[in-house]
Amino acid sequence: MNLINRCVILLLLFFILQGCQKDLLDKLPEDQVSSDVFFLHSNDMQIYMNQFYDDRIIPVQWGQILNNPYNGGADDFNSDNEVSSNGLDPRLQGTRTATTGITGPGLGWYFGDVRNINYFFDNYRKCVDDFSTYSEWVGEAHFFRAYIYFLLLKEFGDVPYHSKTLGTNSPELYGPRTARNLVADSILLDLDSAAMYLPSASVANGTRVNKWVALQLQTRVALYEGTWEKYHATDVFAVKDANPEKYFNKVVDAATQMMGSGQLAIYNTGNPSTDYFDLFRMRDYAASTEVIFWKQFSVALGITDDKLYLLEYPYGKSLTKSLADSYLCTDGLPISVSPLFQGYNTISVEKKNRDPRYYQTIFTPDEAWKIDTDTELWVDAYVNLNTSTEFYAPTGYVLHKTYDPRMVYHSLNYEETPAIHFRYAEALLNFAEAKAELGTITQADIDNSIGLLRARAGMPELQMNNITTDANWEFPALSPIINEIRRERKVELATEGFRWPDIARWAAADELIIGKRPKGFKGSQIASTYFPVDANGFLDPFQTTIPGGYGFNPNRDYLDPLPLNEIVLNPQLTQNPGW
């Protein structure tokens, strides 16, 4: 074999090596989606937004189920409306301490959801489809960023606000907190965008957010910030450059759009004794004009609840006398004044001539308890109250609202009872309150808002020029109209998770919490003496636990402490007052 042949073979070898892949080392995952190609199409955005429909972000807000791990702001156990013999709220007691921990998703100094939502904004412009095909998802993203920051705002006040995801080297990691009014402004801006991009028709039968949900959240946030700035103006939480009117006007703007839409209405079939109650026990809200955002459950799909099963017995959870006393009599007068009020001897007497929402919210003996082949009335439970664990109701007032006595729907872990996230009534209440705070409220405003709620309950209209003084007003220093609007709110939205945020923004702990103990109905009406009674015979379950009443510290407890180690990591972070 000559040299040429040998060289030919060498050349061949060379060519074989030439055949080697140049991009051999570029190996992208085959069973995962690389982020480079995600968000190119509108469908990706929908899939990305789906993750925010999660109980940890939008907690199910049914009032009676304690120990919901994600009740960030839900239910009323953290307020003067409800109590649980399983434990008093440590914030109200003033016993919390600052810790190092960062509590988990949905609560605490947690920015995972902020990061998740900002990732959408970092990337959605990659989409090659027409904007109209995905504007809705951009709208949802604005909504959820607002929602997530509002959770942080309520808990911490000033929070670092970022509209893009941070990297491990971002200087923003060590930035200061953003002033709460700037955070609020950013939230409201996001909601403007959300309202602009989200459809005005209900989306996915109301299981996804739409324009009205965004606007209602806007009324909520704006009212929160506006009243916070106004009522904390002179305490340690005072906001620099406060401008409550700006926010109240925002509430009015947003609510006005909703009220003028023609698409939203209070559920009212003309049956004042049942309409309010029925609203909370519907099996489906797809066609509702009032419930604009709700959560669906499905046994077939494996997403179930057991709300009605859990509500069958109080198990130590009950409503307070403070709530019960807020209900007016059917003449529109408070119990301190109305001749129709029959006294407290038994709950059946107490409920006589009261706002029908009273017995639609609080269980009374002649209400159906269990409807199976025959009907069992609440009286069967009532006589047994406080005799055993399942019948523990420290105050005697047991939640009736949101309960459905039809046993066919009760099941441990296998219920499909839907949950309400947003209902229009709140927007009306927000509107009335903002108008009143602005001082521009008119009788027509009242008729168009609170009037609709009172009409459903068959209650006389609130006449702004003819308000009877109530010796029991919770805020005697404030105007009668504010007092009555706040009463209406307490009654209408009872146990829906609004009460603590209301107390916080109104700086109302000195009136409602500090030094107070939650009380119940007359102890003499039930056989059990398991819980003590006070000098007037009312159940006083926490007589020995908190003899001096709640120890809430008004110069500290309205906000939560930042985790201590976070302040060490970032010296620019300042601790909230009092911690």
Partner 1 sequence: MKLSIFKTNHFGKCNRTARMFKSIALTGVFVWGFIFSGFSQQVKTMQTISGRITYSNGRPLAEATVTVDGKRAGTQTDNNGNFSIQVPVDGGVLLISHVGYKTASFKVIDNHPVAVELTQEDVALDSVVVVGYGTQKKINLTGAVDVVSGEVLQNRPAANVAQLLQGESANLNISLSTVGGEPGATRNWNIRGLGSINGSSSPLILVDGVESNVDDIDPETIQSVSVLKDASASAIYGSRAPFGVVLITTKKGTRNKGVKISFNSNFAWATPIRLPHFTDSYTWATVYNEAQANAGLTPVYPDAQVARIKGYQAGTYKPEYDTANPPQIIWNGRWEGNANYDWPSLFFKSNSPSNKLNVNLEGGDDKTQYFVSAGHFYQGGLYNWGNDSYKRNNLMANLSSKVTDWLKFDVGVRYSQTSGDYPLGIVGQVRQYNLRSIFSFGPTTPMYNVDGTLANPIMVSFLNSGREKTSSNDLWLKLGGEIEPIKGWKTGLTYNYNLGNTGDFQNPIPVPVNIPNGTIGNIGSSTSGVVENQGSTNYYILNAISSYEKNLGQHFLKLMVGYEEELYDYQSLYGSKMDLITTEVPSISTATGTTTLGDTKGHWSTQAVFGRFNYNFAEKYLFEFSGRYNGSSRFASDSRWGFFPSASAGYNISKENFWDPIARTVNSLKIRGSYGSLGNQNVPNYLYVPTVPVFSNLNYVLDGQRPNYANIPAILPSNLTWETVTTVNLGLDATFLKNRLGLSFDIYQRTTSNMFGPAQDLPAVLGTSVPYENNAEMRTKGFEVSLTWADATSQHFNYHVKLTVGDNTSTIVKYQNTSRVIDTWYDGKRYGEIWGYQTDGLIQTQGEQMPDQSKFYPTWGPGDMKYKDLNGDGKITDGSRTLSDHGDLKVIGNITPRYNFGLNAGFNWKDFSFNMFWQGVAKQNYLPDRNANVFWGVIPGGSPGSESSIDKGSPALNYWRPADETNFLGPNTNAYFPKPYFDYDEFMKNHQDQSRYVLNAAYLRLKNVQIGYTIPTKYSSKVFIKSIKIYASGENLITITSLPKVLDPETVFVSDAALGGIEATSLIYPLSRSVSFGINITF
Q: For residue 205, state whether it binds partner 1 (rule: CB under 8 A).
A: yes
Give the bridge partners for 422, in sequence order: 293
Q: For residue 201, state whether it binds partner 1 (rule: CB under 8 A).
A: no
Q: For residue 295, state whether it binds partner 1 (rule: CB under 8 A).
A: yes
Q: For residue 20, state whether it binds partner 1 (rule: CB under 8 A).
A: yes
Q: Using the rule CB under 8 A, which residue among 68, 163, 263, 296 binds partner 1?
A: 296
Residues in contact with 229: Cβ distance below 8 Å, sequence separation at least 6, in sequence order:
181, 239, 242, 243, 244, 247
**Distance between CA atoms of 544 and 342, rounded to whole angstroms?**
30
255 in Cβ contact with 219 (< 8 Å): yes
Q: Using the rule CB under 8 A, which residue among 84, 116, 218, 449 binds partner 1?
A: 116
Stretch that binds partner 1, among 42-50, 330-338, 402-410, 499-507 (CB under 8 A): 42-50
Q: What is the dihedral of CA 447, 453, 454, 456, to 10 degrees?
A: 120
> Taking the complex as a whole, how short is the minimal distance between the CB of residue 418 and partner 1, in angstroms?
9
Q: Using the rule CB under 8 A, which residue among 87, 131, 566, 574 binds partner 1?
A: 566
578 in Cβ contact with 553 (< 8 Å): yes
- Residue 128: how many other CB atoms lie within 10 Å: 8
Q: Using the rule CB under 8 A, which residue among 113, 185, 275, 496 binds partner 1?
A: 113
Q: Using the rule CB under 8 A, which residue among 112, 260, 343, 532 binds partner 1?
A: 112
Stretch that binds partner 1, among 184-192, 296-304, 435-443, 541-549 (CB under 8 A): 296-304
Stretch that binds partner 1, among 203-211, 235-243, 384-392, 433-441 (CB under 8 A): 203-211
Q: For residue 27, state whether it binds partner 1 (rule: CB under 8 A).
A: yes
Q: For residue 51, state whether it binds partner 1 (rule: CB under 8 A).
A: yes
Beta carbon nearer to partner 1, 169 or 413: 169
Beta carbon nearer to partner 1, 51 or 443: 51
Q: For residue 32, state whether it binds partner 1 (rule: CB under 8 A).
A: yes
> Taking the complex as a whole, how short is the minimal distance between the CB of residue 190 and partner 1, in angstroms?
17
Binding to partner 1, residues 301-340 (CB under 8 A): 301-303
Q: Which helix (H) or strand (E) holds 435?
A: helix 424-438
Binding to partner 1, residues 149-188 (CB under 8 A): 160, 162, 165-170, 172-175
Q: For residue 128, state whether it binds partner 1 (rule: CB under 8 A).
A: no
Q: For residue 556, state whether it binds partner 1 (rule: CB under 8 A).
A: no
Q: For residue 138, state whether it binds partner 1 (rule: CB under 8 A).
A: no
Q: For residue 526, state whether it binds partner 1 (rule: CB under 8 A).
A: no
> Taking the complex as a whole, how short is the minimal distance between the CB of residue 3 and partner 1, in angstroms?
7
Q: Pick from 219, 237, 269: which is nearest to 457 by CA?
A: 269
Q: For residue 471, state whether it binds partner 1 (rule: CB under 8 A).
A: no
Beta carbon nearer to partner 1, 66 or 166: 166
| Tokens encoding 206 | 């109301």
> Taking the complex as a whole, how short is the minimal distance between the CB of residue 101 and partner 1, in angstroms?
10
Give the bridge partners for 442, in sequence order: none
Residues in contact with 98: Cβ distance below 8 Å, sequence separation at least 6, in sequence order:
561, 562, 563, 564, 575, 579
Q: For residue 3, state whether it binds partner 1 (rule: CB under 8 A).
A: yes
What does the radius of gyration of the chain's CA atoms come to, in whole angstroms? 28
* Positive or negative torsion for Cα 187, 152, 419, 43: positive
**Distance between CA atoms of 442 and 445, rounded to whole angstroms?**
5
Q: For residue 99, state whether it binds partner 1 (rule: CB under 8 A).
A: no
| Tokens encoding 39 | 């968000």
Instruction: Please state the three-class secondary structure of 106-146 as a single string.
Output: CCCCCCHHHHHHHHHHHHHHHCCCCHHHCHHHHHHHHHHHH
Q: Using the rule CB under 8 A, which residue among 18, 298, 465, 544 binds partner 1?
A: 298
| Tokens encoding 491 | 């009654």
